[in-house]
Amino acid sequence: MTDIMWDSEIYEKAADAKTLASSAAIPSIADPRRLRNTLGNFATGVVVLTYQADDSYYGVTVNSFTSVSLDPPLVLVSMQRTSRALAYLLERPFAVNVLGDNQLDTALHFAGKPQSRPIEWVGDDVAPRINGSLAYFQCTPWAGYDGGDHALVLGRVLSYGQQDDTRPLLFYRGQWSALAQEAEDDTKDGTQSEGSRQ
């Protein structure tokens, strides 16, 4: 896989650009459902945020999660202001559990649709996490910010881990999804896929 320099900046002059009138280029944002549907074109991973309150473990499924900084190590989650979990995430350690494509039942469970299969927890001094997740980040609250009808929670990563043999659970256009299987370099008849020729 080619390393991508995400922080590199390239500036190019826009030459011979065609400019559209606003009415032709930009739909009205007066319809929140249409805006939400349009935002749904950005495929995301699925995470469950987990934390401990009293003697119980809790979790909430979200798909708004991103890395922010490596120094210090920070991640960000966006939570609805009406979420009961928000107050806990702002004041105590939590774990971000990145779900694999075999954990749809876990995503549904913590999205308010309880499943019959019990959750396998990993107890920890920092924050409880879900066993078998694709990756996890255990965090302490770093800062909280106003995000309109959401709140933005920054967490400082204290520990993390991953499984290399698991593929991610995705959310796209309001549907659960998964990555397509990667094509093998060599097929059974000895030919190579188009992208693997050198």
How do residues 122-163 score in pLDDT, each as one tens digit? 987 889 999 999 999 999 999 988 888 888 999 999 999 998
Residue 52 lies in a domain: yes
Q: What is the residue range of 110's domain?
A: 43-173
If you average pLDDT over each of 27-31, 41-45, 46-50, 145-149, which comes out highest?
A: 46-50
CATH of the domain at 126: 2.30.110.10
Overall average pLDDT of the 55-65 stretch: 90
Indicate the number of domains in the chain: 1
Looking at the DSSP bridge assignments, the partners of residue 168 are 100
Quick check: bond before 114 cis, omega within 30?
A: no
The residue among 70, 68, 72, 90 whose CA lies nearest residue 81 is 90
- The answer to the question of residue 151 being in a domain is yes
Q: Is 186 a member of any domain?
A: no
- Does residue 191 surpass a pLDDT of 50? no
Q: What is the mean pLDDT of residues 163-188?
A: 65
- Tell me if 31 is assigned to some domain: no
Tell me which residue of 38, 29, 34 sits closest to 173, measured CA to CA: 38
- The answer to the question of residue 194 being in a domain is no
Residue 56, domain member (yes or no): yes
Q: Give the model's confidence band at 84: pLDDT under 50 very low, under 70 low, under 90 confident, else very high.
A: confident
In this structure, is residue 198 part of a structural domain? no
Buried b / exposed e along 115-141 (16+ C-beta atoms within 10 A): eeeebeebebeebbbbebbbbbbbbeb
